[in-house]
Structure 1
Amino acid sequence: MQLDFMPSRTMTLYMAKMFALRIVAVLLMLVIVLMMLDLLGESGKILEFPGNGQAQLLTYAGLRFPQLVSRFLPYSVLLATIITLMTLNQNSEVIAMKASGLSAHQVLAPLFMVAAVTSLVTFGFNERVVTRATATLKAWQAVDYGKIPGESEVRPNVWLKDGDNIMFAKAVFGEGTAMRMQDVNWYQRDPSGMVTRIVSAKTATFANPGWKLEDAESFDVQSAQSKKLATPVILGKGVMPVQVLISKTDADAESLFRLSRSISAIREAGYRTSELDAKWWHKLSGPLSALLMPLLGAVAGFGLARSGTLFVRAVIGMALGFAYFVVDNAALAMGNFGGYPPFLAAWAPFFLFLLIGETVLIRTEE
């Protein structure tokens, strides 16, 4: 039996089912509680917009729910690991499994199997659901919970520098030469920085160079007079589409494929992309944190279940798990401002705690 990584089929299904049910139960408990607290904080802002009501609150909950699931699923796997192993230990089931010839790694094998499936599901869920919900929610928050934008790939509230002048768009849609702006204001400034003229338009399209503003209106600050421009006007010749990517590329709201395209465009323009590179790698390493949790929480499943020893082991398992999340966030922050190379910032915490977890398990149980 020592040559088989998995225990018997019956034992594997028994432990896998127990572990999976506890993951779902813990995740639902965390998400429901956090959703209620989040709604208490945001409901006032949502209902403040005229016409918003219960439907908009449900819409917000539907957009926020995937974010909470994605963020707290690894914590749920950690807590479910500790609860499952403590239960097995208290019922002397771990002792029975080890007495039958199973090693500590074989006892944990069904948990690793469920955690691996969880990691794959998390990656797909992040790519297909979370990124779209995040993009829609941020665009909706940019209009103060007014009308939800019809397109999901929207960059809200974009400020761009055009030499001494400033260009602002309430929303930017599309990419490259097909990019277009909505609710555009172009602020002409004198050398001292004072605004002398404001040109406003509902839409603007890229004219290469510059942006063509349709049905524009010009307001002269000094005379306080406005006039309608009879023909389209081209302004912002110093503003290029890549500047929008640089200022408004949000890794949390973009899929892995789309983020790759944004990084390539920014890199081709000669700008630094280390922050986005680190987040690109973290889209791969982040979901794998669920695979690490059974190993870090494994210390709770062994040892004597008396005299408070089991409780101490559970605390150690929780401490290891939460330490991983702290180090992971710190490394990602270091990678964002260039302190660590992007690959190292995303993967170093995973491999570090993989070694720590293996060392603790081997030294204490193997």
Structure 2
Amino acid sequence: MINFDFLPSRQIAFYLIRLFLARSAAVLVLLVLVLMALDLLGESGKILKVAGNGEGELWRYVSLRVPLLIQKFLPFAVLLGALITFTGLSQHSEVVAMKASGLSAHQILAPLILASLVIAGLAFAFNERVAVRAARTVNAWTDNDYEPMRESRDLLSNVWIKVDQDFVRARLVSGSGAALTLRNVTIYERSGPTLDRVVDAERAVQDGGRWRLENVKSYDANMNLVRQQKQTFGLAGVTPDRFTLAKVEPDEHDFVSLRGSIAELESAGRPTDEARSGLWHKLSGPLSVVLMPLLAALAAFGLARSGKMLLRAGAGMGLGFAYFVIDNLSLALGNVGAYPAVLAAFAPFFLFLLIGESLLIRSEE
């Protein structure tokens, strides 16, 4: 007789959840350790090259990069953890025993889906509270060539704007409104396609309707002359929002602040496609964790002695990786405005939800 309860056995549910969480956590730790070691090998030379940087800065870099690796590879870890769990259950005929007791494939899968929902909620909170701040800080630090810098909530890095024919680059932008400060500013003054002068300033602050440039070094291309000044003035008529709206990176903003930035972009008449896609992907990204047990379930149902265990596990892994490929493609199309941002963020999720559910129903038959 078939049991139609969603969770017919508390003992089985806790057993499956414990296996799933333990294996997913082990895979995530292994992935993060390996990837962090490789990343640190590539960046440690650049960090230590800066005078004054030492072991403390290496650990600071690790503390900033680890949250980003967790954010990116958590769905992969859940996929692999689910595959390992299902493969082990199938090899030991535990799935056969569960089905013989009257449990359906959906009832076997239900505890893992519930656990994945909890993981998705925690992942969203982690991304909003930890990963966003880490991304903003490490990107600014990297763009500043690992020079010492203070952390700031309103911090942007490597911002470019165009003023008439001139280009302006600010390596660090901090603050907002009248308190906005630019650091390591370079102004490329041009006459048509010809470069006339390059002005480098250590710091720039607002002074009336212009900007006061401090510790300035300028190179005149026509006279081949370098000149140094304590301070000068420039960028007349350039408002602070030109810098704050020039670069809106969704990964560096939490959900609420990104919505505010989108409203500011709209009021300034600037494109918002990339920001909107990133906004909705903040929801669909963590939610993708819920899909992973469903896509990996292909490895669970079938007899281990049939000889197709490896094939079914490979198919489950292939489905999971196909989702990430389609998700990235969809997000890229949304960034350029090829189709609506909500569709770009959620279409892959619902597509693979239907695919996984179809395969699960077939296994029931």
**TM-score, with length taken from structure 2:** 0.92
2:295 equivalent to 1:306: no
The structure-2 alpha-carbon separation of the partners of 1:336 and 1:109, relative to structure 1 and needing over 3 Å to count, comes to same
Gaps of 5+ in 2: none
CA distance, structure 2, for counterparts of residue 90 and residue 30 of structure 1: 25
CA distance, structure 2, for counterparts of residue 175 and residue 139 of structure 1: 16
CA distance, structure 2, for counterparts of residue 220 and residue 247 of structure 1: 26
State how 1:236-255 maps to structure 2 within 5 Å.
236-255=235-254
In the TM superposition, what is the alpha-carbon distance from 1:219 to its structure 2 partner? 4.5
Report the AA paired with residue 124 of structure 2: F
The structure-2 alpha-carbon separation of the partners of 1:199 and 1:147, relative to structure 1 and needing over 3 Å to count, comes to closer
Deviates more, 1:342-351 or 1:215-224: 215-224
| Matched residue, 1:46 | 47
- SS of equivalent residue, structure 1 residue 287: helix
2:8 equivalent to 1:13: no
- SS of equivalent residue, structure 1 residue 340: coil
CA distance, structure 2, for counterparts of residue 36 and residue 215 of structure 1: 40
The structure-2 alpha-carbon separation of the partners of 1:139 and 1:359, relative to structure 1 and needing over 3 Å to count, comes to same
CA distance, structure 1, for counterparts of residue 28 and residue 148 of structure 2: 31
In the TM superposition, what is the alpha-carbon distance from 1:197 to its structure 2 partner? 7.0
CA distance, structure 2, for counterparts of residue 31 and residue 141 of structure 1: 20
The structure-2 alpha-carbon separation of the partners of 1:324 and 1:212, relative to structure 1 and needing over 3 Å to count, comes to same
CA distance, structure 2, for counterparts of residue 329 and residue 93 of structure 1: 36
Report the AA paired with residue 339 of structure 1: A
| Matched residue, 1:102 | 103
CA distance, structure 1, for counterparts of residue 40 and residue 330 of structure 2: 31
In the TM superposition, what is the alpha-carbon distance from 1:160 to its structure 2 partner? 1.8
| Matched residue, 1:331 | 330
Alignment coverage as a number of residue pairs: 362
CA distance, structure 1, for counterparts of residue 16 and residue 291 of structure 2: 17
CA distance, structure 2, for counterparts of residue 335 and residue 362 of structure 1: 32
In the TM superposition, what is the alpha-carbon distance from 1:153 to its structure 2 partner? 2.8
- SS of equivalent residue, structure 2 residue 51: coil
| Matched residue, 1:352 | 351
Alpha carbons 1:70, 1:130 under 8 Å: kept? yes
Residue deviations 1:157-183, cap 9 Å, x none? 322211123333231112344422223
Alpha carbons 1:162, 1:238 under 8 Å: kept? no
State how 1:97-176 maps to structure 2 within 5 Å.
97-176=98-177
Report the AA paired with residue 4 of structure 1: D
| Matched residue, 2:56 | 55
In the TM superposition, what is the alpha-carbon distance from 1:316 to its structure 2 partner? 1.0
CA distance, structure 1, for counterparts of residue 207 and residue 295 of structure 2: 52
| Matched residue, 1:265 | 264
In the TM superposition, what is the alpha-carbon distance from 1:309 to its structure 2 partner? 1.5
The structure-2 alpha-carbon separation of the partners of 1:24 and 1:192, relative to structure 1 and needing over 3 Å to count, comes to closer
Residue deviations 1:284-319, cap 9 Å, x none? 000011000010000111101114211111111111
CA distance, structure 1, for counterparts of residue 352 and residue 253 of structure 2: 28
Alpha carbons 1:169, 1:182 under 8 Å: kept? yes
Deviates more, 1:117-126 or 1:299-308: 299-308
CA distance, structure 2, for counterparts of residue 278 and residue 206 of structure 1: 37
- SS of equivalent residue, structure 2 residue 133: helix
CA distance, structure 1, for counterparts of residue 37 and residue 156 of structure 2: 28
| Matched residue, 2:91 | 90
The structure-2 alpha-carbon separation of the partners of 1:36 and 1:227, relative to structure 1 and needing over 3 Å to count, comes to closer
In the TM superposition, what is the alpha-carbon distance from 1:148 to its structure 2 partner? 3.1
Alpha carbons 1:178, 1:206 under 8 Å: kept? no
| Matched residue, 1:291 | 290
- SS of equivalent residue, structure 1 residue 114: helix
Deviates more, 1:84-93 or 1:50-59: 50-59
- Aligned-residue sequence identity (percent) comes to 46
- SS of equivalent residue, structure 1 residue 172: strand
CA distance, structure 1, for counterparts of residue 43 and residue 217 of structure 2: 37
Residue deviations 1:237-283, cap 9 Å, x none? 35333332343211111111111111110111111111111111100
The structure-2 alpha-carbon separation of the partners of 1:96 and 1:219, relative to structure 1 and needing over 3 Å to count, comes to closer
The structure-2 alpha-carbon separation of the partners of 1:154 and 1:343, relative to structure 1 and needing over 3 Å to count, comes to same
CA distance, structure 1, for counterparts of residue 198 and residue 146 of structure 2: 30
Alpha carbons 2:3, 2:103 under 8 Å: kept? yes
| Matched residue, 2:66 | 65
2:335 equivalent to 1:342: no
| Matched residue, 1:320 | 319
Report the AA paired with residue 126 of structure 1: N
The structure-2 alpha-carbon separation of the partners of 1:333 and 1:123, relative to structure 1 and needing over 3 Å to count, comes to same
Report the AA paired with residue 321 of structure 1: G
Report the AA paired with residue 73 of structure 1: L
- Cα RMSD between the aligned structures? 2.2
Alpha carbons 1:139, 1:149 under 8 Å: kept? no
CA distance, structure 1, for counterparts of residue 260 and residue 250 of structure 2: 12
Alpha carbons 2:154, 2:176 under 8 Å: kept? no
Alpha carbons 1:245, 1:266 under 8 Å: kept? no
CA distance, structure 2, for counterparts of residue 202 and residue 147 of structure 1: 15
